[in-house]
Amino acid sequence: MLNLFLIQALNGVQLGILLFLVAAGLTLIFGVMDLINLAHGALYMIGAYLAATLTAATGSFGLGLLLALPATLAFGLALEVLVVRHLYGRDHLDQVLATFGLILILNEGVRIVWGAAPMSVPVPDALSGSVHLVGTLHYPLYRVAIIAAGLATALGLHLLVNHTRLGMRLRAGASNGPMVAALGVDIRRLFLVVFGLGAMLAGFAGAMVAPILSVDPGMGDSVLILTFVVIVIGGVGSVRGAFVAGLLVGLADQLGRTFGPILLRSVMDASAASQTGRTLAPMLIYILMAAVLFFRPSGLFPARGSR
């Protein structure tokens, strides 16, 4: 049982890190630009597809990943200039509609370019084994790599946000946007940079999961909703909040999935318990979110002082 807990905790951390990567960019976009971007999950999908294609083209996952990053960055920048830029300062409803439209376009576009069938990316040979933990316990090396890469990115973001000039502007933008603009910061460029960065982070997350999940149109949708939950729990605009909430959601999901049925099994038969528990787990996250919002309507780490 302890072994199982350990493995599920690791899985939870891995999922949490992944959610953080997607959420970090989105929370900044929300916080700094006050833009509700439903299409952020689609960027995660684009990252995965680009990584899959580039891996197939170069024959190396490492190279594919490395090339996918600037490619998603470029894609994100293009999207900002073409569409997103025109949504700043607009009604949230307009933003919801336009970015909902973007999801439809990108999901369908991916189906046209890459087909409806899922693509798969082989795990790089160097990372395809498993790590021996204790006793009979093994954990896939590749997932360890995801956790490590995610933590490194989180550290990098922490340094960027808290110890650079850009980071200062970001924090300022998240807590009081108009003031930053009034102080003469080129807000257009700041927004472009933030959106590009967010796109690249989401693309990075998508590229990282390509070898363990199959890459298919619509993969962004499920991540998007989880990301929203993370952001709302963490507090809009807070990278630190996204990190904490990401881990919280990841752990709640993975531990709930496994231990829910085990707990339920004491009150009902095995297959009913397994079915009920498995589907209660995704509900758990939303209950968590509702509870957090009930007590703290602005999330755990609200970035914006007053609105």
Residue 182 structure tokens: 């009034």
Please state, in angstroms and rounded to a whole number, the distance separating the CA atoms of residues 234 and 30: 12
Beta carbon of residue 284, minimum distance to another protein (angstroms, whole number): 9
Residues contacting 217, CB < 8 A, separation 6+: 45, 107, 108, 110, 111, 114, 116
Q: Which is nearer to another protein, 105 or 159 (CB)?
A: 105
Window 138-177: residues binding another protein (CB under 8 A): 138-143
Stretch that binds another protein, among 101-109, 155-163, 170-178, 179-187 (CB under 8 A): 101-109
Among 97, 144, 268, 300, binds another protein (CB under 8 A): 97
Residue 115 structure tokens: 């087909």
Window 55-94: residues binding another protein (CB under 8 A): 83, 86-87, 90-94
Residues forming beta bridges with residue 140, ordered by sequence position: 130
299 closest CA partner among 249, 234, 255, 253: 234
Stretch that binds another protein, among 43-51, 190-198, 211-219, 240-248 (CB under 8 A): 211-219
Residue 186 structure tokens: 């080129």
Q: Which amino acid is at 64?
A: G
Among 197, 232, 247, 264, binds another protein (CB under 8 A): 232
Q: Which is nearer to another protein, 144 or 192 (CB)?
A: 144
Window 245-284: residues binding another protein (CB under 8 A): 254, 257-258, 270-272, 274-276, 278-280, 282-283
Q: Which is nearer to another protein, 48 or 65 (CB)?
A: 48
Q: Which is nearer to another protein, 41 or 196 (CB)?
A: 41
Please state, in angstroms and rounded to a whole number, the distance separating the CA atoms of residues 229 and 217: 22
Radius of gyration of the chain (CA): 20
Distance of CA 183 to the CA centre of its chain: 32
Distance of CA 25 to the CA centre of its chain: 8
Q: Which is nearer to another protein, 64 or 277 (CB)?
A: 277
